[in-house]
């Protein structure tokens, strides 16, 4: 067993890595940013430090260089884990002093195999240098199955919605590729309802809300599609344990129906997704491609859920303008208050109708910084829903089964289900 420090500014990623590493037999400490990770590694001995690159306070390369420059931590084992996957990124990680490099998203077995490799290499080096240490046992669990199937858009009609209290079916194996042709869209009237899920900053659980809302709609027997608009490594595919290739980066500026259909992936629950690229891009989805995708999808699906980018790029602004509802995901802290005020000023300048806004307070930690009533008083707005912190979310992220599907009676699933049914 090794003592591992995970440094990443994304809450969902930290939780997933913790579960993965614990299942590999390790003790895990989490740091929410570069500065906190640097502080922890200088205060406590860790067998391995896993560090993200793109963090707002201090990037992973800076952290690595400072660790190497400190006499007390210069021999610290460091694994860079980042969404950047170009050869230049690997070279930058090695130049900063990292021992190894992995790109996101990473599977359970690949991560633990790399950890085992690094720990074994360190053990051998220590033995060569005369350092006596007990080898840490590393248990690498078998890889989890990926539930997905590539799909073109089929043509079944929308079925009537059951009540949310209906029992959840047992886990289903991945369906075979759908063979039915996509519907013709020439002259078709757009009928889909668009719902934009907007996170004002990272770490508030926007994708968790989007995935569970889309899953709730699917449980209601609504023909639902979830589109991940993030240009900086989308997490929808990760939360559903789907392969993010193919994805919307392959779309032309004016894609036809066939091209859109080839990029769709179907989850075992019946939810369709259009994944985001598994790497950071310099710009988001082209607005022309976004409009055309909505036209194609709108002729078939009853509901399209859009997991928006964390900043107002062209596709995100277009989604906000076209959506029946704009769900703003907040966490009960001062960061969300400041960001909300600034974002609302911008949205006012865009002329968006505030009657379409819905505010969701998502508790991403066991003990929130402030209560719902205190938060509402600070922002002078009424929350449409509050989602409680749920310990079961960690396993849901790892297993690719959103709580709305795998544990519909859980606190998070209940809250999301009620809110989704109210729209």
pLDDT at position 129 is 65
**How does the average pLDDT of the chain come out, rounded?**
82
Tokens representing residue 31 in the block: 């740091």
109 with 153, same domain? no
337 with 225, same domain? yes
Query: If you count them, how many residues does the chain have?
Result: 423
The answer to whether residue 140 sits within a structural domain is no
Nearest by Cα to 26 from 118, 136, 126, 143: 136
Close Cβ partners of 140 (under 8 Å, ≥ 6 residues apart): 24, 109, 112, 113, 116
- Predicted TM-score (pTM) of this structure: 0.63
Contact 99, 118 (CB under 8 A): yes
Give the pLDDT mean for 77-98.
81
pLDDT at position 128 is 66
Model pLDDT for residues 263-275, shown as the tens digit of each residue: 999 998 999 999 9
251 with 288, same domain? yes
End-to-end CA gap in the chain: 48
Model pLDDT for residues 188-212, shown as the tens digit of each residue: 455 799 999 998 777 788 999 999 9
333 with 240, same domain? yes
Neighbours of 325 (CB within 10 A): 17
CB-based burial, 134-159: b 16+ in 10 Å, e otherwise:
eebebebeeeeeebbbbbbbbeeeee
The answer to whether residue 135 sits within a structural domain is no
Q: What are phi and psi of 54, to 5 degrees?
A: -85, 95
117 with 201, same domain? no
The answer to whether residue 408 sits within a structural domain is yes
The answer to whether residue 138 sits within a structural domain is no
Tokens representing residue 357 in the block: 């806004």
346 with 227, same domain? yes
Q: Check which CATH number belongs to the domain holding 398 and give it.
A: 3.40.50.300
DSSP state of 57: S
* Residue with more model confidence, 400 or 316: 316
Whole-number Å distance between alpha carbons of 382 and 373:
9
224 with 370, same domain? yes
121 with 153, same domain? no
274 with 398, same domain? yes
Nearest by Cα to 304 from 316, 312, 313, 294: 294
Q: How far is CA 309 from the centre of its chain?
A: 11
366 with 221, same domain? yes
The answer to whether residue 367 sits within a structural domain is yes
User: At residue 325, does pLDDT exceed 70?
Assistant: yes
pLDDT at position 55 is 84
pLDDT at position 146 is 41
The range of the structural domain enclosing residue 41 comes to 3-128
**What's the order of all strands across the beta sheet hosting 357-362?**
149-150, 265-266, 272-274, 224-228, 303-307, 193-199, 325-330, 357-362, 385-387
Number of domains in the chain: 2
User: At residue 91, does pLDDT exceed 50?
Assistant: yes
| Residue indicated by tokens 């000023």 | 345
Model pLDDT for residues 52-61, shown as the tens digit of each residue: 988 888 889 9
């Amino acid at each position: 067993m090794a003592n591992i420090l995970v440094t990443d500014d994304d809450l969902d990623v930290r939780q997933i890595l913790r579960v993965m590493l614990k299942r590999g037999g390790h003790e895990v400490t989490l740091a929410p940013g570069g500065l906190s990770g640097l502080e922890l590694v200088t205060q406590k001995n860790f067998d391995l430090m896993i560090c993200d690159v793109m963090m707002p306070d201090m990037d992973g390369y800076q952290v690595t260089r400072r660790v190497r420059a400190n006499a007390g931590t210069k021999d610290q084992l460091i694994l860079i884990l980042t969404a950047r996957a170009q050869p230049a990124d690997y070279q930058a990680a090695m130049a900063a002093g990292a021992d190894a490099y992995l790109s996101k998203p990473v599977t359970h077995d690949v991560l633990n195999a790399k950890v085992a490799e690094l720990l074994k290499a360190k053990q051998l080096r220590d033995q060569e240098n005369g350092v006596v240490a007990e080898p840490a046992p590393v248990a690498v669990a078998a890889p989890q199955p990926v539930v997905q199937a590539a799909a073109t858009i089929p043509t079944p009609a929308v079925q009537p919605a059951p009540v949310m209290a209906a029992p959840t079916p047992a886990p289903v194996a991945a369906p075979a590729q759908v063979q039915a042709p996509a519907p013709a869209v020439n002259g078709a009237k757009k009928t889909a309802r668009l719902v934009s899920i907007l996170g004002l900053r990272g770490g508030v659980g926007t994708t968790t809300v989007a995935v569970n809302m889309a899953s709730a709609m699917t449980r209601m027997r609504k023909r639902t599609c979830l589109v991940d608009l993030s240009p900086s490594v989308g997490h929808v595919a990760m939360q559903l344990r789907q392969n993010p290739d193919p994805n919307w980066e392959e779309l032309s500026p004016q894609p036809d129906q066939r091209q859109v259909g080839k990029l769709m992936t179907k989850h075992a629950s019946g939810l369709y997704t259009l994944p985001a690229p598994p790497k950071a891009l310099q710009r988001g989805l082209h607005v022309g491609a976004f409009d055309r995708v909505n036209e194609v999808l709108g002729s078939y699906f009853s509901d399209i859920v859009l997991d928006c980018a964390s900043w107002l790029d062209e596709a995100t602004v277009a989604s906000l303008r076209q959506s029946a509802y704009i769900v703003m995901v907040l966490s009960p802290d001062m960061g969300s208050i400041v960001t909300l005020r600034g974002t609302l000023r911008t949205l006012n300048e865009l002329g968006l109708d505030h009657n379409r806004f819905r505010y969701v307070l998502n508790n991403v930690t066991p003990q929130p910084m402030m209560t719902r009533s205190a938060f509402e008083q600070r922002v002078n707005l009424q929350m449409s829903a509050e989602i409680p912190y749920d310990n079961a979310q960690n396993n849901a992220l790892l297993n690719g089964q959103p709580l709305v599907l795998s544990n519909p009676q859980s606190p998070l699933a209940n809250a999301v289900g009620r809110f989704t049914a109210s729209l």
